[in-house]
Amino acid sequence: MTQISSLVLLSAKIISLIALSLYLVFAYVVVKQVSVMTKIVSGNLNLQIKLLSKIHFILAVLVLILAFVVL
């Protein structure tokens, strides 16, 4: 590989990890917003919505960990 192509590949990896880190922050915000929403609004699906938001956050963490391992 040439130096330019390896530099482009490295910068693509770094940008990907930064983007996944920002997505993890987004997933955390979703969990917090769902928590606040379920305290204010009562409904039949509160438990399921909380569970889905937590599963979403856990999957976001796992994807970021996997990206660190693979990249």
- Per-residue pLDDT, 1: 65
pLDDT in tens, 18-63: 999 999 999 999 999 999 999 999 889 999 999 999 999 999 999 9
Under 8 Å between Cβ of 60 and 29:
no
Under 8 Å between Cβ of 31 and 58:
no
Cα separation of 5 and 35, whole Å?
A: 45
Cα separation of 23 and 54, whole Å?
A: 14
pLDDT surpasses 70 at 11 = yes
Q: Whole domain around residue 32: which residue ranges?
A: 3-70
Q: Considering its fold, how many domains does the chain have in total?
A: 1
Cα separation of 44 and 57, whole Å?
A: 22
Cα separation of 52 and 71, whole Å?
A: 28
